[in-house]
């Protein structure tokens, strides 16, 4: 049923907080009443659901107050509230109940979510966040949900690869960015990936970085908090609005990894991965280890090649596409992973027909970003967009240590990209050829994608995580708007 074509509306007198007031439900889905100040609710956008409690009807809403008027929040002051009214007769109660149910049903709201909760991420508070912030909102909205607590790395990916997606209208990750990446990779490794990747995915911040959910909420001026995040998901469920997300395919031989956040090599990767040994410090580990890396700054040999977006053709020197990385020259623990799997194989763009540019090292840092915020307090790529079909590339070559310290201190507002030692541009495709450290050619570096160790070179970071790729040439292409997110509007 089309909400605009509902045959009638109700105007009646009801009890609100012991006072009899007029209440009207209009054809366009507005609840209006007079109580102290005139108030109005847009049922489609603001009402989570209705609860029928004997002779009373409770309206569960997500609102903020402005000048005494209940209205939908868009600046971060979102709160769960309820408005309770009591019709004055049994006949009126029946009519109100039926009309409200009919209207909610006519909206065709999705009702089933799969929730991944990562109890090990960040400060290990995801379970508490789910219980205190997420579940009450879902119950208010009468949304059915299934909860899976992840038990180990790649657990969410394993679940999603074989999941019966027809049972759900969306997936929500109560975690850091890592579970989102697992879900995206799981969907794209399915045989039915082209349909599976249309499944909307939502985020609730409960990890160390939370860059994606910060980017989503910040894009509409909302504070990054669990309550704002889950209410944003529910509002999308209520209105049906979603947002497309670019997916980058990182390839090396037959190995594929699907990235939605970032790729780093050099300083940023070293800080992100090597600071894991200080995880007990929480998010402070990043700043602590960054000071160490600046003090003993590393420079890496290597080369990057890229297809610049229009307007960025002046960066680098002209070159030609040298072919997809085969990684035949190096053998490693990755070989067992390099078998062809069913699923998405990456963009089919003809790279050899594109205009390539190249820049040679030494480099301090190479950083590619798909969304603006790298974490809740790092605006890594202020011009990045969710589905523009490009990655934002930040290059730092030679830079004095004091200038580098100043640069890092400006990352909280994105002004670091204006530093004269920074090259900041957009690229459609990218090839990384990582090399050894300048100070010690026997030592190589780390390649970090979406906060996880993708590859490590000789005599470098030692960890228990197996790398999916070798420390060698790799290629990145972008598929515009491939994935779908629950996004605030």
Residue entry with tokens 């301090």: 364
Q: What number of H helices and E strands is found in the chain?
A: 12, 24
Report the candidate in 174, 76, 93, 86 with the shortest Cα–Cα distance to residue 133.
174
Which stretches of 314-442 are assigned E, i.e. beta strand?
Answer: 317-319, 356-360, 365-369, 391-396, 422-437
Closest to 465 (Cα-Cα) out of 448, 484, 488: 448
Determine the 3-state secondary structure of 398 from DSSP: coil
Catalytic residue (one of 28, 140, 142, 177): 177
Q: Is 140 considered catalytic here?
A: no
- The closest of 441, 428, 454 to 370, measured between CA atoms, is 428
Q: In this structure, are residues 14 and 86 in contact, taking their beta carbons and an 8 Å threshold?
A: yes
Q: Measure the CA–CA gap between 117 and 404, rounded to whole angstroms.
A: 37
Spatial separation of the C-alpha atoms in residues 92 and 106, rounded to whole Å = 21
CA angle 71, 78, 384 (to 5 degrees): 110
Please state the φ and ψ torsions of residue 421, each to the nearest 5 degrees.
Answer: -90, 0
Q: Which of 1, 15, 26 is nearest to 83 (CA)?
A: 15
- CA–CA separation, 5 and 400 (whole Å): 67
Q: Which helix (H) or strand (E) holds 138?
A: helix 135-140
**What φ, ψ does residue 348 adopt, rounded to 5°?**
-95, 20
**Distance from CA of residue 244 to its chain's centroid?**
11
Q: Are strands 69-71 and 56-66 parallel, antiparallel or unpaired?
A: antiparallel
Lookup: tokens for 201: 């995915």
183 and 160 Cβ atoms separated by less than 8 Å: yes
Q: Which of 452, 449, 454 is nearest to 470 (CA)?
A: 454
**Which token pair is 132?**
């205190």
Nearest CA to 275 among 467, 463, 468, 471?
A: 463
- List residues with catalytic annotation: 177
């Amino acid at each position: 049923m089309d909400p605009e074509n509902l045959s009638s509306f109700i105007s009646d007198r009801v009890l609100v907080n012991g006072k009899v007031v007029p209440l009207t439900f209009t054809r366009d889905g507005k609840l209006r009443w007079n109580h102290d100040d005139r108030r109005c609710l847009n049922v489609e956008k603001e009402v989570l659901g209705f609860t029928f409690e004997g002779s009373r009807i409770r309206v569960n809403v997500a609102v903020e107050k402005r000048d005494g008027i209940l209205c939908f929040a868009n600046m971060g002051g979102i709160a769960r509230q309820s408005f309770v009214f009591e019709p004055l007769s049994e006949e009126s109660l029946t009519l109100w109940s039926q009309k409200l149910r009919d209207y909610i049903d006519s909206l065709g709201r999705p009702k089933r979510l799969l929730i991944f909760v990562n109890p090990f991420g960040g400060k290990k508070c995801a379970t508490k966040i789910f219980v205190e912030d997420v579940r009450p909102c879902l119950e208010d909205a009468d949304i059915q949900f299934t909860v899976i607590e992840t038990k180990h790395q790649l657990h969410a990916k394993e679940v999603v690869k074989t999941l019966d997606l027809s049972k759900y209208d969306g997936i929500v990750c109560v975690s850091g960015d890592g579970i989102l990446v697992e879900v995206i990779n799981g969907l794209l490794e399915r045989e039915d990936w082209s349909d599976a990747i249309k499944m909307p995915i939502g985020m609730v911040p409960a990890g160390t970085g939370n860059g994606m959910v910060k980017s989503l909420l910040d894009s509409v001026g909302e504070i990054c908090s669990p309550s704002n995040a889950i209410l944003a998901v529910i509002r999308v469920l209520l209105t049906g609005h979603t947002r497309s997300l670019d997916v980058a395919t990182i390839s090396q031989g037959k190995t594929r990894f699907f990235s939605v956040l970032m790729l780093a090599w050099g300083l940023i990767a070293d800080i992100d991965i090597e600071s894991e040994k200080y995880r007990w410090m929480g998010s402070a580990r990043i700043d602590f280890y960054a000071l160490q890396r600046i003090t003993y700054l590393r420079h890496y040999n290597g080369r990057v090649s890229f297809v610049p977006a229009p307007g960025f053709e002046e960066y680098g020197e002209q070159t030609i596409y040298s072919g997809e990385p085969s990684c035949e020259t190096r053998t490693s623990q990755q070989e067992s992973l390099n078998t062809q799997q069913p699923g998405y194989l990456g963009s089919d763009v003809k790279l050899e027909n594109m205009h390539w540019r190249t820049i040679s090292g030494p480099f301090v840092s190479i950083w590619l970003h798909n969304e603006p915020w790298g974490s809740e307090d790092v605006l890594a790529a202020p011009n990045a967009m969710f589905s523009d079909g490009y990655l934002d590339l930040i290059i730092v070559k030679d830079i004095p240590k004091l200038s580098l310290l100043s640069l890092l201190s400006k990352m909280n507002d994105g002004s670091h990209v204006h530093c004269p030692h920074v090259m900041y541009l957009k690229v459609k495709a990218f090839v990384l050829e990582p090399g050894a450290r300048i100070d010690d050619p026997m030592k190589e570096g780390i390649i970090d994608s979406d906060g996880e160790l993708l590859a490590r070179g000789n005599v470098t970071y030692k960890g228990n995580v197996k790398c999916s790729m070798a420390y060698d040439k790799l290629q990145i292409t972008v598929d515009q708007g491939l994935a779908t997110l629950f996004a605030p509007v």
